[in-house]
């Protein structure tokens, strides 16, 4: 069972595992930590750097959630010119608030698809906490 926001919606706060794709079919995995407060979303991501060398690219997230619509901007943390443009994500939340699917864009240069899946560990921790409080 997931936490609920004031409007009765499931809160998106938690760890999400994701993939995003480029037009050439290349997929990149990432991990996002989302924090929902009201309709606002903040958070961070980390993913393998496209520059290679086993490095990790990190970014901050800022956006919003309106019912099942989720939108945020990912801004990379000073990783050089290849990461200088913010990435806009627009997606839709599934019915049980466990997946967000949509498109990302770096206007007007690139775009692709993304999918984020909520980590089961967060949901299990909430259930344990609720059981302990009962």
pLDDT of 108 over the 90 cut: no
CA 94/CA 69 separation, integer angstroms: 10
pLDDT digits (tens, 9 = 90+) for 61-74: 999 999 999 999 99
pLDDT of 117 over the 50 cut: yes
Determine the average pLDDT of the residues in 75-81.
Answer: 77
The count of structural domains within the chain is 1
Range 77-85 contact pairs with CB under 8 angstroms and sequence separation of 24 or more: 79/49, 79/51, 80/51, 82/50, 82/51, 83/57, 83/59, 85/109
Report yes or no on 9 lying in a domain. no
Identify the domain containing residue 87 by its residue range.
14-133
Q: Quick one: pLDDT at residue 7?
A: 53
Residue 45 sits in a domain of what CATH number?
A: 2.40.128.120
Arithmetic mean of pLDDT over the chain: 85
CA 9/CA 3 separation, integer angstroms: 8
Determine the average pLDDT of the residues in 44-50.
Answer: 91
Report yes or no on 3 lying in a domain. no
Please tell me the pTM assigned to this model. Answer: 0.81
Share of the chain above pLDDT 90, in %: 64
- Between the CA of residue 62 and those of 24, 32, 36, 65, what are the distances in Å? 27, 12, 10, 11
Cα dihedral 89, 51, 48, 41 sign: negative
């Amino acid at each position: 069972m997931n936490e609920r926001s004031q409007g009765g919606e499931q809160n998106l706060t938690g760890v999400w595992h994701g993939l995003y794709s480029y037009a050439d079919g290349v997929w990149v995995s990432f991990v996002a930590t989302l924090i929902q407060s009201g309709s606002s979303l903040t958070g961070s991501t980390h993913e393998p750097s496209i520059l290679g060398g086993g490095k990790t690219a990190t970014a901050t997230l800022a956006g919003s959630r309106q019912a099942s619509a989720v939108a945020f901007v990912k801004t990379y943390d000073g990783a050089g010119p290849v990461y200088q443009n913010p990435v806009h994500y627009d997606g839709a939340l599934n019915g049980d608030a466990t997946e967000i699917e949509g498109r990302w864009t770096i206007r007007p240069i690139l775009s692709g698809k993304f999918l984020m899946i909520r980590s089961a560990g967060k949901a299990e921790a909430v259930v344990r906490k609720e059981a302990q409080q009962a």
